[in-house]
Each structure stands twice: as structure tokens, then as C-alpha cells.
Structure 1
């Protein structure tokens, strides 16, 4: 087995506020891009600069706060466009199931279906097998962000979403404390309430200091998630529909 460090690039966006990622195996020259926003050129350039081919473009969910660049980047790079098998969209994509592995050379991403923010939401638990099979970091989209969890009413009723999110949050909290949390948004995003400006954390730190993760009762958790919900993103329904239909 060839040995090479995992390559990871984080792209911070200010309008709209969000985070995209490029990660993969430098030794095997293959990578994935997660939740791309805006112009596809920066992701293509980042892949070229690190000598990697983009094999997968993943949207963690059908977004309601911005127009996704996922399908466009997949077309431009020849990659598979990946969404949860639970996604209901009118555009071609590669469906993935809970527990499925996305192989990236010596790096592997395990799919976790984490409904709550939206019914189709997925997270990616990433390992570098040149070091260990144990998970290293998790790309959490809008399920777990730093300081809070994602709002739950953009695709279903707020209570139904919160009930799903309760179970999803507990799955993520069961990961080892050292696993790094790489979220899909940071402070200023309308998809959370009390988000940190620091765009990464660890499972252990969030379990100690993220109030939502300290709630044991499902009913108390639902009540917490339904309190003080900010106004929805402007044109949320239209944007989500555009991403689902490919009409953006």
C-alpha cells in the first residue's frame, strides 16, 4: 500500500455563509468535493494544484440557503454527483445508503444517514488507512455545527425534523471524542442559532459544550430545537426546489 498524507482543503464562503471541502488521497491522486458553492473553478484549481482527480462531488443535503454547484462541478470534472438515496430530486445522481463507503485511494469516507435538518441529510466519516482504520474527521454538513445543531423545519415540520435529529445527533456523539468535526456552516449562517466563528471542533468538545448534545430526553431535545428558531433563509422553499429540480 502506498503511503501519503490525506489532503484536506476548507473553503469558507461569506455570501452565503457556508463551508465547502476538498479531501482525498495524495498518493493515489483522487479526491472528493463536499457542498460546493458558487463558481466551480476554485475546486478544479485546488484539485489540479494537489495533483488529484475529483471522483465524487457530494451534497450533504438538498440545500435551502444557497444554489448548489454540485451538479455543475460533477459535470465539469467528470465526477459522480452523490446524494443520499433518500433524496427526492429530478436531476441525475449517484445514490448512497447509510454505511456505504466512498473509496478515495487510501482514504475512505463512510456515509452516515443523519436526517433532521432535512430528511435526506448525510454526513461523511473519513479515515486515512495509511495511518489507521479508525475515523479521523467527520464532515457534518448542517446536522452538527460548532455550538449548535441545524434547524429542522426547512423540509418537514419542525417537530418531525427535531425527532429525527435527536437520533442523528446521538449517532454522531457516539463517535470517538478525538474525531474532528468539520461542519457545513459557521457563525452568521441562518441554518443555526448560536454558531461559533471557529469552523471546526471535535466530538468530545461538542459533547461537553454544545448544549443540544447534553440533552438526554427526546422531548426536552425537541422543545429545545423548537425554541428561538430564527426566520428562514430568504426564498428557502424556492432555492430548495431549484436545487432539487436543477432549474437554478
Structure 2
């Protein structure tokens, strides 16, 4: 397996290249930078990009996903019910993206947004058990994603509670590779360390440790930070519903 993490600082976010060097197949998840960055990384690993995956429709930055699809001919992957205006490969909970000896299983994890997905990654040359999970803005290091950017804060919080409890059932050794880290407007108490594990987050992530739904909703509704500048417009641009916006 080949994994590359790309940390972006303006805006703050993390993208990933994941694939099988032996079979030469890769996916890019949540691209932020210019397509050439991911093309060079894939070429260096002897892989072609077969899938470009958005964990959700972002509200804090303009995605370069469609540009990367245009440069590669890859399938553009989003949750099947994602409210977008352009063609894409729709996936649902339990679907798998084949990456040679690597598989990426889709977990529908609504809450941060209704269409949010995570990807549970397994390298079958190592084990049949999952190795890590790409969590987007659902579970991050130190906190969970905010819930009011695409729906009401309460509705999003109830969905996120169920999604978080589901992720907490993964084995403790499964690594967490999130889509954001400290400084991102999409979370509150985020760590500057951009990876963790399910076990560590279950012990030390304050929001993930709340096991009562009502208490969780109250926690998520308290001290809500200001939304990203032009969040609604940016989300519409990423959904193909507008052509211009000024990112944060």
C-alpha cells in the first residue's frame, strides 16, 4: 500500500493519495491543491488515479476534485444522494472501491453534512482487517466536526452522534486519518497532530466520549463558532450550483 498525506495551510485541510503500488491503482481523497500535485505523487508511486473521492461537499474551500477528474479521467465519487448538479459515481454504505490489493469500504457517516462518508481502508497483502479510516470532517483528532453548515445544528448533531458511535466500534488499533487539523474552521478543539487512532480518540476525545445523545446534542449546540466566510456560497460552488465564490 502507498499512502500520502497532503497538509494544506490556506485553507487548512488534509488530502490523501491511497493506492496499491503493485497493481498501480490509486484514489485521491478530498483534493485541495492543484491537480499536478496529486498527479506527480501518483506517478512517483507508479500508479494511475482511478477515483477522486469527496468525503462531503465542502464549505471551507473550493475543491479541485473536478479539475483532477478532468486531468485523469477518474471516477468522481460522492455519496449517492449528494445534492450536486454534475455527473458522479454514487456510492452507498458498504460499497467498496477496488484499488488492487487495497480496498476502500464506504461508511455513510452523516452529521457534519448529510452526505458525508468515511473510507475504511484494508491492505489485503497485510491482513483482512482494516488498517485505517479516512474520516473527513466526521472524526478528527481531538474533536468531531461541526454540524450546522448544511442543516440545523440539532439535526446534524443527532446524525453525528450515531455516526460517531459507529466509528467508535471500530477496533482500537485502526488509525484515524482526518480531513482537517488545528486551525480548521470545521472543528473546535482540534489537535495539530493530523493523525490518531480509534483507541486514543475513544479515551481522550471529549466529544467522542459522550455516550448520551441528549448530552451530546447539548455539547454540540454550545459555543458554536462563526461559520467560514461565504460558507454557503462555497458549498454551492462545490455542488456545481454556482460558478464563483471567494474561499476562506
* Range class of TM-score, shorter chain: over 0.9
TM-score, length-scaled by structure 1: 0.97
Q: Is it true that 1:22 corresponds to 2:17 in the alignment?
A: yes
Match of 2:106 among 86, 90, 111: 111
Residue matched to 2:119: 124
Paired with 2:196 and 2:87, the residues of 1 have a C-alpha distance of: 34
Task: Return the alpha-carbon distance in structure 1 between the equivalents of residues 239 and 126 of structure 2.
Answer: 38
For residue 55 of structure 1, what is the aligned residue in structure 2? 50
Tell whether 2:89 aligns with 1:94: yes
Matched, 1:228 2:223: yes
Q: Which of 188, 194, 201 is 2:196 aligned to?
A: 201
Residue in structure 2 matched with residue 219 of structure 1 by the alignment: 214
Q: Which residue of 2 aligns with 1:238?
A: 233
- 1:139-197 superposed Cα distances (whole Å, 9 cap, x missing partner): 00000000000000000000000000000001111100000000000000000000000
Corresponding position: 1:162 with 2:160: no
Secondary structure, aligned partner of 2:90: strand
1:83 is aligned, of 78, 81, 84, to: 78
1:151 aligns with 2:162: no
RMSD over aligned CA atoms reads: 0.7
1:180 to 166, 175, 195: 175
CA distance in 2, matches of 1:11, 1:86: 27
TM-score, normalising length: structure 2 = 0.97
Q: Report the equivalent of 1:3.
A: none
CA distance, structure 1, for counterparts of residue 218 and residue 128 of structure 2: 38
Distance (Å, rounded) in 2 between the aligned partners of 1:38 and 1:54: 15
Aligned-pair CA distance for 1:38: 2.9
Following TM superposition, the consecutive aligned residue runs of length 4 or more in structure 1 with deviations greater than 3 angstroms are: none
Post-superposition Cα deviations, 1:63-107, rounded to whole Å, max 9, x if no partner, equal 000001111101111100000012010011100010000000000
Q: Distance in 1 between matches of 2:111 and 2:203?
A: 21
Aligned to 1:190: 185
Match of 1:139 in 2: 134
Shift of 1:39: 1.0
**Secondary structure of the corresponding residue to residue 207 of structure 2:** helix
Q: How many residues are paired up?
A: 243
- Structure 1 partner of 2:32: 37
Unaligned runs of 5+ in 2: none
Deviation per residue, 1:31-78 (Å, 9 max, x gap): 000000031110011001111010100000000000011111011111
